Structure 1
């Protein structure tokens, strides 16, 4: 069940563990979500078999896999549910009539409102990235503990597997050997980097020496869906004409993280993943958002060098300090390098068929072919 482009990225990683098995037929459906506009088109470009949602909720399946929550109670299937980002780091948003302070709200994705429906626990298996999520679950929805299992983070494992291909990624993006790549990453919403300070990208393009630095922008897929692809490209047209790399949200973002020398980010998952593989991080403080304590996003937010957009940017970029990558990794995944094995085992157990003895290694992400001239099309 693909709710958004972001969740679709995670599902495609995990489906790869079983898709080659001739006993398994994989079908996709676009689940209800406010940011699902581009999902069907993306899946069709990949050649996936896509069922309409109204058909999917009438049929019975041996297993359903999801990385978000909308409409799951309508399905007739055992469910494996996982996060689509770096663990669960956000609090439940307040309702229209307010609610408790942010720090007292439940952790999103580990709360009873998401995990239960009509008095029953929705997932047959709830895949967690880290043991600390078990402790949160114990407080917020103890009835779901019996279906929870810590599997690690498949996205992080694939990112690590991609690190040796850094020269190929840089060449594929047109980055010269003498150039440094600055990646600007923004999550969605008004507290995301782009929503909070949209002038940062024009400032970077104006201030950084063009011969030495290339700049790429990774905007969360929800930014593109909320405003429209045409509008986002229009807002950034002067930047792309000046050389900004602006990948489509359907492209695999991990190649850019591997290729980057510097990251300017926010409290989103990409910043946490980048810190876990040793990239230097600058963060732009946001007014309201504070990730859940103990998560990699909270660690990065607390430890990264703060960026002051009102001062010269180049000296701040050069002075950015390293974050303890081992500490970030330890907060990110409870089983580094093991997510494919553990998730594959859970999938076959739910399907009720024997797990094949052979298993593909975790593969690097594809080499991008993106130049700034292509990004403006």
Structure 2
């Protein structure tokens, strides 16, 4: 990570010392680890273009733990926030609204998860998170240069919540959807890389953040996960980075230490969860984005949490909550996993497929559409080669994340996502 700092004559003068000056300058605003991983799918579309210089900044955010390490792994040129907001850029990319009213650039605002799944209640007002007027015009900022949407149905919601933003809306698609679909043929390779044996069942336990998430009920879920440990089963727990950031990495690992000692993999927040989801035989999840992306994989889903009050009723997450079986305290977890598998293979496969189809109305076209949008806003012609959607890299073995010697955990290198 390279820290760019202003000289005495101001931040613009610091750019005079670059070997390749005069590039179009793009600022990537990374609030949190999930936001940064989402934005990586966007700024990677600009690679090899010598006309463009990409720099990064990290505004203050309550869940910013891990952002500096993420940017360090990228080898990014990083501007301190207080200097970034004093500079002019040709374009800015962000996946959240906090602080972007201070950025001096045309703004491209993207969702940071699947679709717009959650609704938030503030006082007497309930809104769809990410599409409210306060999300799109924080602190009275002018409308973004582009509001990126994954599905054409989101235009209806936007017309209700912030109709003046409709002319700036672009239905581009979903990068995670496209990367996962492109990677589905590599499922066996992912399972081998994870160290899964032939016939060994792999269960991915995923959680968003918040009191109504799967992790919010961890006291009752933990002993049930220990039921699953055995020679013919492997289990991995994937917890939202906001949980790690909010409680502290040491505390999350300490809470899950008994699981790790029993061989359950505790996947760190910097790791790429997508190959694990593709490799899973069953997914235990909640109302978060990762669970919804699980509908792409062909794995049955068992819901440990699906709070109606937090789910956008028009979203595919609401449909999944009505379709997937809910975890019950009255029966063993093993029997419920068997039931979920029987239901899925018996009649739910097509229903899951219909839910997955609602993630994006531009399947396989995110890279093409997003690159076209970026270059239009920059006033540049696109490179003379197709925008590529590569398959996901192989993950490290589960054993890397399933030991807890002396209270320390080997987190691995973590694939970017």
Is the aligned partner of 1:132 residue 2:157?
A: no
Is the aligned partner of 1:7 residue 2:60?
A: no
Question: Secondary structure, in 3 states, of the residue corresponding to 2:104?
Answer: coil
The aligned residue for residue 286 of structure 2 is 266
The aligned residue for residue 326 of structure 1 is 353
Determine if contact 1:121/1:144 at 8 Å carries over to the other structure: no
Determine if contact 1:82/1:126 at 8 Å carries over to the other structure: yes
Deviation for aligned residue 1:197: 3.5
Query: Matched residue pairs, number?
Result: 369
The CA distance in 2 between the partners of 1:59 and 1:44, in whole Å, is 22
Deviation for aligned residue 1:116: 1.7
The CA distance in 1 between the partners of 2:99 and 2:292, in whole Å, is 29
Going from structure 1 to structure 2, the CA distance change for 1:311 and 1:365 (only over 3 Å counts) comes to same
Deviation for aligned residue 1:13: 1.2
The CA distance in 2 between the partners of 1:361 and 1:116, in whole Å, is 32
The aligned residue for residue 15 of structure 2 is none
Determine if contact 1:158/1:362 at 8 Å carries over to the other structure: yes
The aligned residue for residue 107 of structure 2 is 79
The CA distance in 1 between the partners of 2:90 and 2:39, in whole Å, is 17
Q: TM-score, normalised on structure 2? A: 0.85
Q: Give unpaired runs (5+ residues) of structure 2.
A: 1-28, 410-417
Where do residues 1-377 of structure 1 align in structure 2 (5 Å cutoff)? Answer: 1-94=29-122, 98-100=123-125, 105-117=126-138, 119=140, 121-205=142-226, 207-208=227-228, 210-286=230-306, 289-320=309-340, 321-322=343-344, 323=348, 324-375=351-402, 376=404, 377=409
Deviation for aligned residue 1:319: 1.1
Determine if contact 1:157/1:336 at 8 Å carries over to the other structure: yes
The CA distance in 2 between the partners of 1:289 and 1:244, in whole Å, is 31
Going from structure 1 to structure 2, the CA distance change for 1:309 and 1:51 (only over 3 Å counts) comes to farther
Deviation for aligned residue 1:370: 3.3
Going from structure 1 to structure 2, the CA distance change for 1:286 and 1:337 (only over 3 Å counts) comes to closer
The CA distance in 2 between the partners of 1:124 and 1:24, in whole Å, is 18
Taking only aligned residues, the RMSD between alpha carbons, in angstroms, comes to 1.6
Q: TM-score, normalised on structure 1? A: 0.94
Deviation for aligned residue 1:120: 5.1
Determine if contact 2:282/2:299 at 8 Å carries over to the other structure: yes
Bigger radius of gyration: 2
Deviation for aligned residue 1:240: 0.6
Deviation for aligned residue 1:220: 0.3
Deviation for aligned residue 1:118: 5.9
The aligned residue for residue 13 of structure 2 is none
The CA distance in 1 between the partners of 2:237 and 2:137, in whole Å, is 37
